[in-house]
A and B are shown apart, each in its own frame.
Chain A
Amino acid sequence: MNSRLMSIIRKEFIQIFRDTRTLIMILVIPIMQLFLLGYSATNDVRNIPLAVVDRSRSPESRALLDSYRAADYFRIAYTVDSEADIEALISAGDARAAVIIPPDYAQNLSAGNAQVAFILDGSDPTSASTALSAAQLISQAHATEILTERFARTGSNLRVRPPVEVRTTVWYNPDLISAHFMIPGVIGMILYAIAAILTATSVVRERERGTIEQLIVTPIRPWELIVGKLMPYVILGFFNTIEVLAVGHWWFGMPIRGDLGLIIVLSIVFLITGLGIGLFASTIANTQQEAMLTVWMTLLPSIFLSGFFFPLEAMPTFLRWLSYLMPLRYYLVIIRSLLLKGVSLDMIQTDVLAMSLFAVGIMTAAALRFRKRLD
């Protein structure tokens, strides 16, 4: 192999292993982000604090509350006496939802027209919509139970059943665990951010510290400098991918259904996009801070417009069009399909093609801008 190239790669590795900040970035940050996002960026709403006003104080009302207690969506946090108290609790954010059972609940129940009030704090739409559907489900199930019991008491063995039953089967992620959806995204984000930031800063550092001037007057060719600078980060990015996949799989139980080889190859293609962005940023920036900022400026829209957190289908048309410009978008489709659905290459070929085009395009643009000169 080209000995100049080997020398550059060796030098880069020595520098990486001597720089604590870079090492932390490579070894610790991916795992930290994985844990942070794996646990926090979840839409699985549990234990919503519930305030209760039970004016009925009957066995019937207690049975209703028990059914709320049984489902882990809610936690009966407060039992209060008046609606004013509820308002105070919800305003203060201590309770996110409230149930008000009127005094005549038990009587009306036997008459078949009982009503219960359910109040919801809608300021956080995600948890509110989960709470709403949970409340509806719990109430419906409870109503069905009451009817069944009543028929049983009257000696009828007629079983109550709704006229239409929808049988749902959830594929790929049957328990709808958010982490399984988030972790592939985290892999994408880490590959992108680490590759871009480390590349950009490692090139700009040469300029900042003046070493570029000595590097320039060596016979190193520009492509050797580019490849030599990027290669260590390709290798490290490869290990990052494995690292995050392993932790995602064994700790968070994320399935790996697709071909592991394909996952790694396509991850490296995406990594090249990140490296290209970093290299491009390094041709614009003069200081490491500038380089860092430039990368962040591309990273944020990438995260928001790639379907990482927010579904692309929910975006207005303009933003959805914009999302086609985000390489991360294609990688997320690819990695989620491969990990969760275990699809084959031909099912995702459009996305693979688009992502590869971005990788080649960005890298070419960056390499063309890259000059082995001072001016």
Chain B
Amino acid sequence: MTNYLVQATDIHKHFGNNHAVDGVSLHVKPGEVYGLVGSDGAGKTTTMRLLVGALVPSAGEINVCGFDVLKQVEQVRSQIGYLSQRFSMYEDLSVLENIRFFAEVRGLSQTEWLPRSMEILEFVGLADFKDRRAGLLSGGMKQKLGLASALVTRPRLLLLDEPTTGVDPVTRQDFWQLVIKLVAISPSPSGRGDRGEGVSVIITTPYMDEASRCHRVGFMKNGRIIAEDTPSALRSKLNGRILELRGSPLDVLRHVAHRDVDVEDVQAFGDRLHIRVRDDKARDVIRRLKSAIGGEGGRVAELRVVPPVLEDVFIDLSEDKDSTPPA
């Protein structure tokens, strides 16, 4: 049964009356990249902190890498790498000194740490900056340093809490390439050979394009995971329900679309609108909108059913639907 690297069962975390995590269950397989998405305050960071044992859950059980997080927290920690949302390297230490410190306290010996640190700095592309003070690095380089320090002991599980928030798109791309390489070369960049056991990654992100790179995605809301599946399976739930509308003027298009009884939501995507419609109503809506927009003096350039993107799913799930139970 324990081919799961992470097994969390019905975990809760209360801060006074605030139920930050309210019954989360999570299963992550070896070699899997699991994305945890949700709005700010949904409980993503608290969940991550519970998984690494930085917080003690109010209720529930967490097993990571075969160890109980509550009872065998030190064993758990020797198996994981964690990159917190906030930069948490020592700014007054150099890149190499930081890596050395975290390598040594996590058990690398006098002879091991240097070659291993250099290898990992090479891997993340920081080798040329090894003597620079961490505080003087750019935002993206800081995140890479954090990743390097999390990776230096060859963890089996990597937990990345919003590693790309506030980082420029190019660096974000770089960062993801590293994560993908990491999972592909199992179990770690230098490789221990046994391919059966890949590095697992749990990553939280506010970016849907990043979520769609994950093997599986969990949507968090109000401290719960309200939907969890592969990105394509999640998207397929909205198949045939997303319309793309282009035309002018945009405010007329939006106004008319909102008025339609079978339209659930309208979102602007640049010069287009994404319209979510009720099940099996796409054809009716298209017909009605075309005539209604014409009647209001607007012009439709294009109106068609498009494949849903994760963002559509996210918006759908984020809306308060008190009557609908979570899927």
Q: Do A and B come from one complex?
A: yes
Seen from chain A, the residues whose Cβ lies within 8 Å of a Cβ on chain B are 3-4, 6-8, 10-11, 14-15, 18-19, 209-221, 373-375
Check A213 against B84 for contact (C-beta < 8 Å). yes
Q: In the complex, A301→B23 CA distance in Å?
A: 50
Kindly provide the distance from the CB of B62 to the nearest chain A CB, expressed in whole angstroms: 14
Check A218 against B87 for contact (C-beta < 8 Å). no
Extra 17 A-B pairs, beta carbons < 8 Å, given A15-B93, A210-B84, A216-B52:
A4-B107, A7-B101, A7-B104, A19-B92, A210-B88, A211-B89, A212-B88, A213-B84, A213-B86, A214-B84, A216-B53, A216-B54, A217-B80, A217-B82, A219-B77, A220-B105, A373-B56
Chain B residues whose CB sits within 8 angstroms of the CB of A6 once the complex forms: 104
Question: Out of A210, A216, A219, which one reaches B106, CB within 8 Å?
Answer: A219
Interface string of B74-99 (1 = CB under 8 A from A): 11011010101011111111000100
Q: Nearest chain-B residue to A225 (Cβ)? A: B105
Check B55 against A219 for contact (C-beta < 8 Å). no
Interface string of B104-118 (1 = CB under 8 A from A): 111101100000000
Interface string of B47-77 (1 = CB under 8 A from A): 0010011111000000000000000001101
Q: Does more than half of chain A's interface fall in helix, strand or loop, or is it mixed?
A: helix
Check B56 against A214 for contact (C-beta < 8 Å). no
Kindly provide the distance from the CB of A345 to the nearest chain B CB, expressed in whole angstroms: 40
Task: Specify which of B74, B105, B107 lies most central, judged by the most chain A CB atoms within 10 Å of its CB.
Answer: B105
Kindly provide the distance from the CB of B326 to the nearest chain A CB, expressed in whole angstroms: 28
Known pairs A219-B74, A219-B77, A375-B55; A3 contacts B84 (CB<8 A): no
Check B91 against A209 for contact (C-beta < 8 Å). yes
Q: In the complex, A361→B54 CA distance in Å?
A: 28
Question: Out of B56, B86, B92, which one reaches A375, CB within 8 Å?
Answer: B56
Task: Specify which of B90, B91, B102 lies most central, judged by the most chain A CB atoms within 10 Å of its CB.
Answer: B90
Kindly provide the distance from the CB of B97 to the nearest chain A CB, expressed in whole angstroms: 6
Q: In the complex, A4→B153 CA distance in Å?
A: 14
Kindly provide the distance from the CB of A93 to the nearest chain B CB, expressed in whole angstroms: 50
Q: Nearest chain-A residue to B97 (Cβ)? A: A14
Chain A residues whose CB sits within 8 angstroms of the CB of B143 once the complex forms: none
Counting CB contacts under 8 A, is B200 at the interface?
Answer: no
Task: Provide 6 A-B residue pairs closer than 8 Å at the C-beta atoms, listed in order of the A residue.
Answer: A7-B104, A15-B92, A210-B88, A213-B86, A216-B54, A219-B107
Check A3 against B90 for contact (C-beta < 8 Å). no
Q: In the complex, A4→B74 CA distance in Å?
A: 13
Q: Nearest chain-A residue to B94 (Cβ)? A: A14
Total interface residues on B, CB under 8 Å, equals 34
Q: Nearest chain-A residue to B52 (Cβ)? A: A217
Known pairs A15-B93, A221-B74; A3 contacts B109 (CB<8 A): yes
Q: Nearest chain-B residue to A15 (Cβ)? A: B92
Kindly provide the distance from the CB of A307 to the nearest chain B CB, expressed in whole angstroms: 40
Question: Out of B55, B77, B146, which one reaches A218, CB within 8 Å?
Answer: B77
Counting CB contacts under 8 A, is B186 at the interface?
Answer: no
Counting CB contacts under 8 A, is B149 at the interface?
Answer: yes
Chain A residues whose CB sits within 8 angstroms of the CB of B74 once the complex forms: 219, 221
Known pairs A213-B84, A219-B107; A11 contacts B93 (CB<8 A): yes
The 4 closest A-B pairs by CB, nearest first: A7-B104, A214-B88, A210-B86, A213-B84
Kindly provide the distance from the CB of B157 to the nearest chain A CB, expressed in whole angstroms: 11
Kindly provide the distance from the CB of A90 to the nearest chain B CB, expressed in whole angstroms: 57
Task: Kindly identify, within residues 12 to 56 of chain B, every residue whose CB is under 8 Å from any CB belonging to chain A.
Answer: 15, 49, 52-56
Q: In the complex, A374→B48 CA distance in Å?
A: 12
Q: In the complex, A15→B91 CA distance in Å?
A: 10
Q: In the complex, A19→B135 CA distance in Å?
A: 13
Q: In the complex, A142→B274 CA distance in Å?
A: 109
Q: In the complex, A373→B77 CA distance in Å?
A: 13
Question: Out of A3, A11, A217, which one reaches B54, CB within 8 Å?
Answer: A217
Chain A residues whose CB sits within 8 angstroms of the CB of B146 once the complex forms: 214
Chain A residues whose CB sits within 8 angstroms of the CB of B107 once the complex forms: 4, 219
Known pairs A3-B104, A213-B86, A214-B88; A219 contacts B93 (CB<8 A): no
Q: In the complex, A221→B107 CA distance in Å?
A: 12
Q: In the complex, A153→B310 CA distance in Å?
A: 121
Q: In the complex, A3→B92 CA distance in Å?
A: 22
Chain B residues whose CB sits within 8 angstroms of the CB of A18 once the complex forms: 92
Q: Nearest chain-A residue to B75 (Cβ)? A: A219
